[in-house]
């Protein structure tokens, strides 16, 4: 069994894998959880307004599945959005996939645009909630993956970098903006992961070979031009 999680600005991910062997009387299960929490600032060009009713859009991408020879297995992904303020809000979803039936939505107050199932690629838009202007609003994202097996089976829930702000995270009335540091400016999400490219395995190998060749070249040059080994005239 193994699990992992990570969190960065406006972006969290989790992953879990479980397996069990035939003949074992015990099942296996594992879950991973990630949290992102930060303070946002909403403001309006209308000084007479003290707050607004808004919505938030989040991306959810990942896969769930299982491989069962005997016994059973299940995988799940669940997450939540909570917002502080004079009218605190909390929205929770849970999607489940197991070997005894099909993919199921156990709870989901979000409007969904995209695909739900063993492969999830969707935009989740929250119900309407209220925020106050010119003061801190604490926002918390939570994501948890789960995998469980019994008998000769394996299960996985892979959402490694998947629960994130949409490019325009909030649906705001005219004249309203929201900001929070460098990653959220005027309701525009600047994804920190998009600016950091992770080389593919072939790219890593090419880079390593390049470094090795550079090292050999430098070493050879040092041997040729080393003063104590230079050929002296006769």
106: nearest Cα among 97, 96, 116 = 96
pLDDT in tens, 78-102: 999 999 988 899 999 999 998 887 8
Amino acid 27: pLDDT:
79
Amino acid 198: pLDDT:
41
pLDDT in tens, 100-141: 878 999 999 999 999 999 999 999 999 999 999 978 999 999
> Rounded to an integer, what distance in angstroms lies between the CA atom of residue 71 and that of residue 119?
23
Consecutive H or E run containing 211: helix 201-225
- Tokens 């005894």, located at residue: 100
> Rounded to an integer, what distance in angstroms lies between the CA atom of residue 17 and that of residue 35?
20
pLDDT in tens, 170-221: 999 999 999 999 999 999 999 988 865 444 434 434 444 454 444 444 344 4
> Rounded to an integer, what distance in angstroms lies between the CA atom of residue 119 and that of residue 140?
25
Both tokens assigned to 21: 């062997």
Cα–Cα distances in Å, from 78 out to 50, 95, 122, 153?
Answer: 33, 6, 14, 22
> Rounded to an integer, what distance in angstroms lies between the CA atom of residue 118 and that of residue 221?
57
- Tokens 């838009």, located at residue: 125
Kindly indicate the confidence band of residue 231, based on its pLDDT and cuts at 50, 70 and 90: very low
> What distance separates the 2 farthest-apart alpha carbons in the chain?
96
pTM, full prediction: 0.80
- Tokens 């790219």, located at residue: 203
Domain positions in the chain = 2-195, 199-234
Contact 53, 129 (CB under 8 A): yes
pLDDT in tens, 31-51: 999 999 999 999 999 999 999
């Amino acid at each position: 069994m193994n699990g992992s999680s990570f969190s960065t600005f406006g972006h969290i991910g989790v992953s879990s894998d479980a397996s069990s062997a035939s003949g074992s009387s015990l099942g296996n299960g594992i879950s991973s959880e990630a949290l992102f929490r930060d303070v946002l600032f909403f403001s309006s060009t209308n000084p007479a307004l003290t707050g607004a009713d808004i919505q938030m859009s989040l991306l959810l991408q990942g896969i769930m599945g299982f491989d069962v020879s005997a016994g059973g297995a299940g995988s799940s992904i669940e997450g939540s959005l909570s917002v502080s303020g004079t009218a605190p809000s909390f929205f929770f979803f849970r999607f489940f996939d197991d070997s005894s039936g099909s993919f199921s939505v156990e709870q989901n107050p979000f409007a969904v645009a995209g695909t739900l199932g063993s492969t999830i690629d969707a935009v989740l838009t929250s119900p309407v909630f209220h925020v106050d202007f010119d003061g801190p609003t604490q926002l918390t994202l939570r994501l948890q993956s789960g995998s469980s097996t019994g008998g000769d089976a394996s299960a996985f829930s892979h959402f490694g970098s998947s629960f994130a702000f949409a490019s325009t995270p909030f649906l705001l009335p005219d004249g309203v903006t929201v900001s929070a540091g460098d990653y959220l400016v005027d309701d525009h999400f600047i994804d920190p992961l998009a600016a950091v490219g992770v080389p593919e395995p072939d790219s890593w190998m090419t880079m390593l070979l390049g470094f090795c060749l550079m090292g050999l070249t430098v070493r050879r040059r040092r041997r040729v031009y080393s003063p104590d080994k230079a050929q002296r005239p006769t």
